[in-house]
Structure 1
Amino acid sequence: MKQLGKLLFGASLVMLLAGCSSDKKDYLDRMAEEHDGDVPVENAASEISLSSAVTGEEVTYATVNGEDITGYLTKPEGMDQNRPGLIVIHEWWGLNDNIRMMTDKLAGEGYTALAVDLYNGRVAETPENAGKYAGSVNSEEAIDNLKQAYNYLAEQQGAANIGTIGWCFGGGWSLQTALALPQQVDATVIYYGRLIIENEQLKKLQMPILGIFGAEDSGIPPEQVKKFEAALNEVGVTNSIHIYDGAGHAFANPSGNRYQKEAAGDAWTKTTAFFEKHLK
């Protein structure tokens, strides 16, 4: 029966990924429109203060198709093992300095945080390249990558509870990770990521979901967000969904020019409180 269960799960995952790929071009086109003229540049908002000192390093956490995958691991200084872990998933720009900064910021809240790399070392500086890199991601390989990230935190870092968080492209993969590991992931945060609204898929989720979205985001429009929230409620998944008025796509990215300080600050407060409640 256990082997049959694995086969059925594998089949359902393939169907899910196939369904996701069917509207991939449409999604990437919408993201290109949302990021038109945007560039990931450092600015004053990128300068953060940490709640506690952290230590970060590049680590090899996975091997996909024979290729080693390097991510950024950071953790609070002077804290014991068995602290909660976080899988941090980059925006469509890739694993850049902004994501490392956000990973440090999360670690400063008391987590072992691993920023994964779904682009195999590539980092985009223009929307054109970002769209190209996002479009080239193989779904099955990405899921393999993210599952190994979970195992790395659980087995090599001794993380007692593990959550996921991602923004934009990474927000969608935060949800996909939760769907791929519904019994293992303990909490999931989605920042304006690509959504699944089919009840049959969402009913697999066993963890609480926090969703952060912008009312002016035409790539992930409020109507779709509300359908997602309704579907979660229908299948009994604990959730907290927030749509910020006046905020568009990527409003929480301090290194982009879509940044909205007030909305981003409130979203961060909700994020840290959510993880505090469900991972600690």
Structure 2
Amino acid sequence: MAPILLLHSMYGLRPAVHAAADRLRAAGHDVHVPDLYDGRVVDDPEEGAAIKEEIGRDELLRRAVSAAAPHIGQGLVYAGFSLGGSIAQNLALADGKARGLLLLHGTSDLADDVSTELAVQLHVADPDTYEPVDWLNAWYLRMRRAGADVEVYRYGGAGHLYTDPDLDDYDAEAAERTWAIAEDFLDDL
């Protein structure tokens, strides 16, 4: 199995990210979980956004690239939660050896000239305040046009970060369905 780089959300490297990594490790995956926020963890979205802005998108990408670098030759699977999904998408599309892309609660824009054959799976709340339906539909079409093999799973009534049991968004049923589907996806890469 390909190693997985799992990137945290704007809340930082929370216990839910470690739990997700442990779950994937128990299923036989080699999972790497970098801390892009240097130990800062928050429960409030405004505080998380402030840390993200303070560090800056370019620096977050640089930190993620540095975390990926030791594993690139092995054909990484990039994965991430919300902000981490956005960063994972950018890294995966730039890595010609990437094996797959697992997005949990987040996407990123695509360059017009992007081309990829990646297997991509997105799990997202429906509706999601950070990933509006119009955006997701356009994202899906652009990913398909780029050549990606894309699957999108939407979870009605779930909150944005519905896989984190320590946040108000948590939805146990949606989280369990997400992980069951994601594990099958990762096993097939």
TM-score, with length taken from structure 2 = 0.90
Q: Retained in 1: the 8 A contact 2:110–2:142?
A: yes
SS at match of 1:190: strand
In the alignment, is residue 216 of structure 1 matched against residue 127 of structure 2? yes
Matches within 5 A, 1:21-170: 83-154=1-72, 160-170=74-84
- By how many angstroms is 1:197 displaced? 4.6
What is the aligned-residue identity percentage? 20
- Give the alignment's Cα RMSD to 1 decimal: 1.9
Q: Retained in 1: the 8 A contact 2:117–2:147?
A: no
Structure 1 residues 196 and 256: alpha-carbon distance in aligned structure 2, compared to 1, 3 A threshold: same
Partner of 1:230: 141
Q: Retained in 2: the 8 A contact 1:199–1:232?
A: no
- By how many angstroms is 1:235 displaced? 2.5
Q: Retained in 1: the 8 A contact 2:125–2:160?
A: yes
Amino acid at match of 2:133: P
Query: Quick one: distance in 1 between partners of 2:166 and 2:63?
Result: 26
- Structure 1 unaligned spans of 5+: 1-82
In the alignment, is residue 190 of structure 1 matched against residue 103 of structure 2? yes
1:210-260 superposed Cα distances (whole Å, 9 cap, x missing partner): 111111212211221111111122232111112222223111222211111
Query: Quick one: distance in 1 between partners of 2:178 and 2:3?
Result: 20
- By how many angstroms is 1:89 displaced? 0.5
Moved more, 231-240 or 141-150: 141-150
Query: Quick one: distance in 1 between partners of 2:88 and 2:40?
Result: 20
1:53-76 superposed Cα distances (whole Å, 9 cap, x missing partner): xxxxxxxxxxxxxxxxxxxxxxxx
SS at match of 1:199: coil
Query: Quick one: distance in 2 between partners of 1:154 and 1:228?
Result: 26
In the alignment, is residue 239 of structure 1 matched against residue 133 of structure 2? no
How many residues get paired?
189
1:195-220 superposed Cα distances (whole Å, 9 cap, x missing partner): 215532xx333321111111121221
TM-score, with length taken from structure 1 = 0.62
Structure 1 residues 169 and 84: alpha-carbon distance in aligned structure 2, compared to 1, 3 A threshold: same
In the alignment, is residue 179 of structure 1 matched against residue 179 of structure 2? no
Q: Retained in 2: the 8 A contact 1:215–1:243?
A: yes
Query: Quick one: distance in 2 between partners of 1:153 and 1:173?
Result: 16
Runs of 4 or more above 6 Å deviation = none
Amino acid at match of 2:129: S
Amino acid at match of 2:69: N
Query: Quick one: distance in 2 between partners of 1:207 and 1:93?
Result: 27
> Which entry has the higher C-alpha Rg, 1 or 2?
1
Amino acid at match of 1:87: L
